[in-house]
Structure 1
């Protein structure tokens, strides 16, 4: 009961915005938050053991998802998003507590130790997440297997439409010309590289990945599409690439680079680009100050992953010799993407259970739900940063981006503005 009382006092102090009901192992049930917001629909958490309570007191950011996955914290599928939303809405009050400040100090120290991602470590980390059976990813991704933020022009768009527009907007920002060589760093299952090749029949595209599973799927897709003569997929680290490219694109890979490798990453981009080259970086980021990655996500979902603040990216770009040509910040688009993924995953959960079992399904459900809410209630956004070798790499007026992305929609002009002298 002492442990229950201690957790009760913490939750009573921290939960102010929104409301939740917590059922303790003793059978005691307590309501937290604004009393006016407590109703029959208030999300409910059931804690099954005192050991779980001790973990929540000591390290809630890790223990809460971990105990949920193990089944020691029970939340209905209908309440999961709402429970996480309430916790995220009140996270600043928790971070202000003494215990949280002590843990944050430890996290900052350990971040400096972990930050270096060697070629070997990068390969191991990537394979842990992306070499899961690709049948799992097909259960919730769009038909092109885009595992990154879509672009929703309205809330009624399908996931397929949002991902198609995302690709077109990225390609537009590359300001493509005839007979260009393009490098896709972290090419995933090959969707973007193949889309570039279809849109620009004289382009030659190289996609690199550290995932043998992704490589196999990407090569098969290139073969089936009749594009294997113009799109090559390689199992290699970006640091080992030697050729020159007119355009470089990287979507959803920068989160795995490692904080201490940012300058090396951008210097490598600079060395790979031709004299009038251009790169487009698409990455999850933070709109606020730098923060440590959630320890549970770091251990169980994206080992070696780190979500940067813009203030951590720009100093490395400045020192690399590259010019920042454009920065766009996508807000809430990833939240909508993740809700589509969650709903599709739940629709196909029986198949996921047959592949990996119940505990894995709870892990994946929590990952998708908490990631969505981090884009709704925390400081998570998506950065699209255009990097130039020369001030003349793109037109001086930004309109070319929308013109190029529109030209493949029905009824739109095929004409794309050329660069200004």
Structure 2
């Protein structure tokens, strides 16, 4: 450890200090010997699970401070231990193999935990993707509306354009494109909870015919569309299915059609989903590198005309989600146990 300091108390009461002698340390305690062993054998999975189960206690409950310390030292390494390329590719393909049945199960793991939870930290429109903060100090609601407006402008949507939305969320974007841009929207999702809410919202606005939501895998959609939009869904596709995804987008677009894909991206080259996230948050999920996406786009015969990075916008979005989650902690504890809350 070259940056900062960690003061770690072991189950037998012994305390060890690691890192810079002059730095103010982050203080943590391991409550049981099993966590010592697991952290040595599988640190990516064990660190999160130790915190979830109360086996790792951080002074002041400053989880972010500990993560900053760990991440800062990882980034400072010039050389690290890496799996051979063929092993990494094999592991990634296995973990990200998402046929239709498995994809639906993976989506349910994260999105069907209960809509009440999401209402306590998302905006009023239940946008569960990066917002667009046009100016400092705007609210999350304003930033999410700006995101939807910008997407509509980039797509050059005209009244009566047919739009395929891959990944409905709770219906906010699809309903907005129908209501404000006059589009005819077909939206598909694998989440039964989100489908129910999206249909209910469309019905309440009298848009059930103009914004139609279906429980369907994107690979099963038929027909051609003027526009295709997908926000926050591509992370669930998996590298082995990138070509299938973009081939289907290309086949589903009219000759002069436009598609917009909004995804989280990794800042470096291809990698793998860490074990803790893969187990507890997004089974089968993967944050792609641009270098992994472009070959599939080109082979599908699609032409990239615009690329925009919203990295800092996502930082603001996450900060606001976390603030709202903490502000509603008392309400959340009435329905979810402490382990779930620490996981989230």
Q: How does 1:38-187 map to 2 (within 5 A)?
A: 38=24, 42-75=25-58, 79-92=62-75, 96=79, 100-101=81-82, 107-187=88-168
Are 1:19 and 2:41 matched, yes or no? no
Return 5+ residue gaps in structure 2 as ranges: none
Map of 2:255 onto structure 1: 275
TM-score by length of 1: 0.78
Q: How far, CA to CA, are the matches of 1:125 and 1:328 in structure 2?
A: 28
Q: How far, CA to CA, are the matches of 1:127 and 1:319 in structure 2?
A: 31
Q: How far, CA to CA, are the matches of 2:38 and 2:86 in structure 1?
A: 19
Q: How far, CA to CA, are the matches of 2:85 and 2:56 in structure 1?
A: 24
Give the conservation status (yes or no) of the 8 Å contact 1:46–1:74. Answer: yes
Map of 2:22 onto structure 1: 36
* 1:35-58: CA deviation from partner (whole Å, max 9, x where unpaired): 3331xxx43221111210111111
Map of 2:194 onto structure 1: 214
Q: Secondary structure of the residue that 1:153 maps to in structure 2?
A: coil
Give the conservation status (yes or no) of the 8 Å contact 1:246–1:278. Answer: yes
Give the conservation status (yes or no) of the 8 Å contact 2:111–2:194. Answer: yes
Q: How far, CA to CA, are the matches of 2:242 and 2:167 in structure 1?
A: 15
Q: Secondary structure of the residue that 2:134 maps to in structure 1?
A: coil
Larger mean Cα displacement after TM superposition, 77-86 or 281-290: 77-86
Give the conservation status (yes or no) of the 8 Å contact 1:95–1:101. Answer: no
Q: Secondary structure of the residue that 2:264 maps to in structure 1?
A: strand
Q: 1:326 aligns with which of 306, 311, 325?
A: 306
TM-score by length of 2: 0.94
Q: How far, CA to CA, are the matches of 1:43 and 1:160 in structure 2?
A: 35
* 1:82-130: CA deviation from partner (whole Å, max 9, x where unpaired): 1111111111467945xx5359985543213233210111111111111
* 1:106-160: CA deviation from partner (whole Å, max 9, x where unpaired): 5543213233210111111111111111001111111110111111234422211
Q: Secondary structure of the residue that 1:315 maps to in structure 2?
A: helix
Q: How does 1:197-212 map to 2 (within 5 A)?
A: 197-201=178-182, 203-212=183-192
Q: How far, CA to CA, are the matches of 1:161 and 1:77 in structure 2?
A: 33
Q: How far, CA to CA, are the matches of 2:206 and 2:59 in structure 1?
A: 46
Q: 2:297 aligns with which of 308, 312, 317?
A: 317
Q: 1:225 aligns with which of 197, 205, 212?
A: 205
Q: How far, CA to CA, are the matches of 1:362 and 1:206 in structure 2?
A: 37
Give the conservation status (yes or no) of the 8 Å contact 2:168–2:188. Answer: yes
Q: How far, CA to CA, are the matches of 1:242 and 1:279 in structure 2?
A: 16
Are 1:240 and 2:220 matched, yes or no? yes
Map of 1:362 onto structure 2: 342
Give the conservation status (yes or no) of the 8 Å contact 1:44–1:79. Answer: no
Return 5+ residue gaps in structure 1 as ranges: 1-14, 365-421
Q: How far, CA to CA, are the matches of 1:26 and 1:191 in structure 2?
A: 53
Q: How far, CA to CA, are the matches of 1:213 and 1:95 in structure 2?
A: 45
